[in-house]
Structure 1
């Protein structure tokens, strides 16, 4: 038996060899690599710039927060009492611990005292209606008897003068309010030309806020329904 000789070299696959690049191809590869590198550099630069911008914004935000939260120390203000000569420290709401509605209560108490104890010929009718609106029935009736007395300003001063009320202080003893105030007679121009002395008084009153039925006009004068339930006033003895 005759064996055929196999040409191994012909049957074995030859490894493909890369053809050498031409000058143009090499130049094109070089340009492509430069473009890729440039794009990568730009991406890195943009990333660095974005990070720097973010840090700057955070710094600005932190500075703004610090500025808004910063509070300068409040100056201490003093006032001299023209009557006694004593020095009184002026206080803000932050300086004085207050109950939830104390500021509102003091406002309406002071308003009631001014309406009740003051006097102006031209507004006495309106003032009396407001006082009755802000008083319990028996307190309002007692007030009407007081202003109609022979010695009341309505009959003594008439249209020749006014009574000016100044609130000195309002304090609370339990559910009772104590109000220190002064009254002074002035002429129709508000001047004390005859040397009328300033008189000091202490009013003691109990009160509540009654959300009862009122007309729109009454609600404009007394929106929260302030009511004085008891009222007493005495001269303040200054030693």
Structure 2
């Protein structure tokens, strides 16, 4: 057997197969398809990752918006629990709001008369405090600066400070008070001047007021704890 020819024949066959252009094109096409598949797979994974990141970003925005909404609309109100000594039954004590106080006629009467006395009464010892503090805290800005300070200021010759000085004083006597509405009052008073000057004046007052959430100092809050403010004040002779 001629082994030389046999091996030569096989070698020639292999060379012929490798050098065959059809086989080369087939292998090149398979390699290209494999690369395309890997590229497409990478593109799909990238797109899925971007979609996932976008969804996470949207969820974060929704969560932040929800937290902000709850922060602005919800509040945590403290409460007090009272334990009944004998039975031990707990009871939640409901806090009283400004609206609750403002609906109380006794509270309204108190602040109305506190304002009138601070404004219309005159004692040389307390005038400065009433003028600079009490009436200011209990008045709206328009009532205090446009009305009260002009009438009761030190530079006005007709103000009680200049009329009565330290020789006389003026007191307020209540005759009647009615509330036409929740935020208005009609009051009949007499102003009695005693000392070096003696006289009595009958007056009728119409005033409007309300309760406000005011930003006040601790000292002012002691004068006006509920934010009561007079928004309109008119006083005339009762017989006029």
Q: Which residue of 2 aligns with 1:168?
A: 175
Tell me, what secondary structure is at the counterpart of 1:120? Answer: coil
Deviations for 1:97-141, whole angstroms, at most 9, x for unmatched residues? xx9411110110011000001111111111112101100101001
Greater shift, 211-220 or 228-237, is seen at 211-220
Shift of 1:176: 2.0
Q: Which residue of 2 aligns with 1:102?
A: 105
Q: Which residue of 1 aligns with 2:151?
A: 146
Q: Which residue of 2 aligns with 1:132?
A: 136
Tell me, what secondary structure is at the counterpart of 2:186? Answer: strand
Q: Which runs of 5+ in 2 are unaligned?
A: 1-101
Question: 2:210 aligned with 1:180, yes or no?
Answer: no
Question: 2:222 aligned with 1:217, yes or no?
Answer: no
Shift of 1:151: 1.3
Higher helix share: 2
Structure 1 runs, 4 residues or longer, greater than 3 Å off: none
Q: Which runs of 5+ in 1 are unaligned?
A: 1-98, 188-192
Alignment partners' CA distance in 2, 1:100 and 1:154: 36
Q: What TM-score comes out, normalization by structure 1 length?
A: 0.53
Question: 2:122 aligned with 1:119, yes or no?
Answer: yes
Aligned residue runs from structure 1 range 198-209, under 5 A: 198-209=200-211
Q: Which residue of 1 aligns with 2:80?
A: none
Q: What TM-score comes out, normalization by structure 2 length?
A: 0.53
Q: Which residue of 2 aligns with 1:159?
A: 166
Tell me, what secondary structure is at the counterpart of 2:158? Answer: coil
Question: 2:234 aligned with 1:232, yes or no?
Answer: yes
Aligned residue runs from structure 1 range 185-196, under 5 A: 185-187=193-195, 196=198
Alignment partners' CA distance in 2, 1:134 and 1:100: 18
